[in-house]
Amino acid sequence: MTHDTTDTAHDTVKTIAITGASSGIGEATALRLAADGHRVLLGARREDRLERLAARIGAAGGTAVFQRLDVTDAADVRAFVARARSAFGRLDVLVNNAGVMPLSPLAALRTDEWDTMIDVNVRGVLHGIAAALPVMRAQGGGHVVNIASVGAHEVSPTAAVYCATKFAVRAISEGLRQESAGDIRVTVVSPGVTESELADHIGDSTARRAMVAYRAVALAASAVADAIAYAVSQPARVDVNEVIVRPSPAAR
């Protein structure tokens, strides 16, 4: 067995763009990756939150810029990636984290919410890949980290459409991995229940009630950030393809 001691990509400072950085997992990921010394670009719709987060990172000695971002708008996502290049000259890692989860039984016919989940969770990820891929290819490589869910592996009542979007994120990620000529690393991080604002936007009362017990045992968002940081920090020749992180009931 030989070891390539020149493979030091894990030691380098990277430019990392994070969608959905205004709360929950995205915010925790920004804090963790900035603390690791990386330059982070923060995107989401709530610009005031991003501004506060960038200031917090800066005050701690890190490097962060932010840009308002709606991932459902392809032009917005292209401008977001362009900002990484104008601010830092390149884009090494894109964390496609933005997501929504307005759960409901199919029979409730909340079709607008189905569309929103597809637009944010699936089209948003595709917009990110479309914007980042040419940039990463031109600079000789990059890393796409897509946040799926345990809902990408199993389906439960009220979660059919949400799970469909997360199954899609896994499928898209696997396709991207297979089509990569070794220059693009692809990681799917699939969290179990995690403390965040994700369940706050569930309008359907059945689904909302069910979530109270289901979400009683939850990971800290920083635990998911740690998994993302692990994948990002691997040497260039190591491609971490999937990580599933669930809360342990023992932590109760």
Give the active site residues.
Answer: 162
Residue 9 or 82: the one with the smaller Cβ distance to ligand NDP is: 82
Q: Which amino acid makes up residue 87? A: A
Place of tokens 């990463």: 136
CB of 178 to ligand NDP, least distance (A): 23
Residue 9 or 100: the one with the smaller Cβ distance to ligand NDP is: 100
Residue 44 or 135: the one with the smaller Cβ distance to ligand NDP is: 44
Residue 48 CB-density burial (10 A; 0-12 exposed, 13-18 middle, 19+ buried): exposed
CB of 114 to ligand NDP, least distance (A): 15
Q: Could you tell me the two tokens for 184?
A: 């693009």
Residue 9 or 79: the one with the smaller Cβ distance to ligand NDP is: 79
Q: Which residues bind ligand NDP (CB under 6 A)?
A: 19-26, 44-46, 69-72, 97-101, 120, 147, 149, 191, 193-194, 196-198
CB of 63 to ligand NDP, least distance (A): 20
CB of 208 to ligand NDP, least distance (A): 14
E strands, the chain, in order: 15-19, 39-44, 63-68, 93-96, 142-147, 184-191, 242-245
Cβ contacts of 130 within 8 Å, gap of 6 or more: 74, 77, 78
Cα–chain-centroid distance for residue 93? 11
Nearest 5 degrees, angle CA 217-CA 221-CA 222?
120
